[in-house]
Structure 1
Amino acid sequence: MPSARDRVLDAYETLLIEHGGAAITLDAVVAAAGVSKGGLLYHFASKEALAAGLLDRLRERSAADAEAIRSAPDGAVAYYVRTSAPGGASPGGLTRTYLAVLRLADSTAAGKAVRDALARVDADGYAALLDELHDPVLAWLAQLVGDGLYLRTLTGTPLPPDLGVDDLLDRMRQYVPRQA
């Protein structure tokens, strides 16, 4: 069973995704998390602390995902592209947390911290791809392909008819060989 802190962050993510940052109150988070107001305040003394906790969660999940990219049996590029595509969300909740943080970016008070956290996620993925590819341009190209697929995942946009991630990876392997 998730801890009270995790239940609060899970509820906060859900509210951000469904309603955006402007509509969220601490009372709404309490109700959604099924914790007392005191329980919420024990972990997060304010909305700012709650947002900071979500950004910490994003950084933690990003670091774990970067390690998964590095150790993926099929290689970093295949992992990055597959988990970026619709239906291939990264294990560990990174996709959901990322989407919630994007919704948090609407808040001007949290804007810089959100941009910094998103930049860290981007840097983690790029570094993991670079570890395999050893070429900054190829690592960036692989990341851009994954980012395009990720945008489709976040917006619910389907892949083109009769094409799938394996087709994309097969073609990419012609240009981005996996390094041993």
Structure 2
Amino acid sequence: MTSSRERILDSFEDILIKDGGRAATIDNVAAAAGVSKGGLLYHFPSKEALVDGLGERLFSLSARDLEAMAVDPEGPARYYVRTSMYEDSPLDRALVAMARLAQQGHPKAQASFNRILRLWLTALEEQLGSRSVSRAVKLMGDGLYYEAAFFGGVEAERQTESELQDVLKIVDLVVREGRRPPGPT
């Protein structure tokens, strides 16, 4: 059984994902979570506190993802791209919800979202040793993710394993070529 606090955050995410930030009022979130308005305000005294709670959740889930990326046997580049498929996971939901707020210009959401994106880029750079290669890998993964999350979600045509392996070969090529010393021009 999830706590009231977690149910409230889950409901906040769900409303943001399905209906956007304007629909994510205190009253709507409380109703969706099955708590009274007073119960919601006990845990989150304002909508800003809800955004802060979502930011904490996103940071925690991202930290776990960064840890998994660091120890993945296929390496960080392959991990990042391989896991850039929208699966409606807790991390996916927190990312999309925060992105919805950031798209509407919410300053805390933009700062939180940008912080997470920088953490992934920094982790890739530390592990791959090249900012350019890391950006290329990140953009490949982000492109796959955003296409699925924002333009199809779970109803989108899923990438086949064969297609994913083809993309991962390109990732390997980018990483390999990015590590080569530049040749004569």
Structure with larger Rg: 2
Structure 2: gaps of 5 or more residues: 180-185
Tell me which residue corresponds to 1:84. 84
Cα RMSD (Å) of the superposition?
A: 2.4
* Greater relative CO (CA pairs within 8 A, separation 6+): 1
TM superposition score normalised by structure 2: 0.83
| Separation in 1, partners of 2:111, 2:165 | 33
- Equivalent pair of 2:102/2:113 in contact (CA under 8 Å): no
Tell me which residue corresponds to 2:3. 3
Q: State the 1:57 CA deviation.
A: 1.5
Structure 1: gaps of 5 or more residues: none
Q: Which residues of 2 match residues 30-179 of structure 1 at below 5 A?
A: 30-87=30-87, 93-108=90-105, 111-154=106-149, 155-156=151-152, 158=157, 164-177=163-176
Q: State the 1:21 CA deviation.
A: 0.8
Corresponding residue pairs, total: 174
Q: Report Cα offsets for 1:7-40 as digits up to 9, x if no partner.
A: 1000000011111111222121111111232221
State the identity as a percent. Answer: 41
| Separation in 2, partners of 1:158, 1:122 | 26
Shift in CA distance, 21/39, structure 1 to aligned 2, threshold 3 Å: same
TM superposition score normalised by structure 1: 0.86
Q: State the 1:86 CA deviation.
A: 4.6
Q: Report Cα offsets for 1:142-166 as digits up to 9, x if no partner.
A: 1011111111121226478996111
- Equivalent pair of 2:101/2:110 in contact (CA under 8 Å): no
